[in-house]
């Protein structure tokens, strides 16, 4: 049940982020959920491999490389999906920040606890 709530909140965060960030568009709530799931899957697979390879550089840049990898995963999903579009790296970077902040707010509002 908690997984379903997390997925729905992540889709809502993606939809809100696409609404407030210029240069990002999502066709609807289902596209937002699909984009969120694909970004999470890309981060868990390709992103993890990239983070392992760039670990020393990630330490030197204090985590900036992990953020860049997340933005690249958003751009990858943008190229894979038709209902989710970003205009470039900057809009994807702002979306990554906005979605994480919105998700944090939604988690606190809906009482989702992290374990």
| Per-residue pLDDT reduced to its tens digit, 26-68 | 999 999 999 999 999 999 999 999 999 999 999 999 999 999 9
- Give whole-number Cα distances, 57 to 11, 48, 75, 105, in Å: 32, 14, 21, 31
Q: Report yes or no on whether pTM surpasses 0.85.
A: yes
Alpha carbon of residue 42 to chain centroid: 10
pLDDT category, 115, cuts 50, 70, 90?
low
Dist. CA 45–CA 47, nearest whole Å? 6
Average pLDDT of the chain?
93
Does 113 have pLDDT greater than 80?
A: no
Does 112 have pLDDT greater than 90?
A: no
């Amino acid at each position: 049940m908690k997984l379903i709530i997390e997925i729905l909140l992540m889709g809502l965060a993606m939809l809100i982020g696409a609404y407030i960030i210029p240069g990002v568009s999502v066709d609807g709530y289902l596209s937002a959920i699909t984009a969120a799931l694909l970004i999470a899957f890309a981060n868990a697979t390709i992103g993890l491999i990239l983070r392992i390879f760039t670990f020393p550089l990630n330490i030197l840049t204090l985590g900036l490389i992990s953020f860049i990898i997340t933005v690249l995963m958003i751009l990858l999903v943008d190229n894979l999906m038709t209902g989710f579009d970003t205009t470039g790296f900057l809009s994807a970077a702002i979306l990554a920040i906005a979605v994480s902040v919105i998700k944090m707010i939604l988690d606190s509002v809906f009482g989702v606890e992290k374990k």
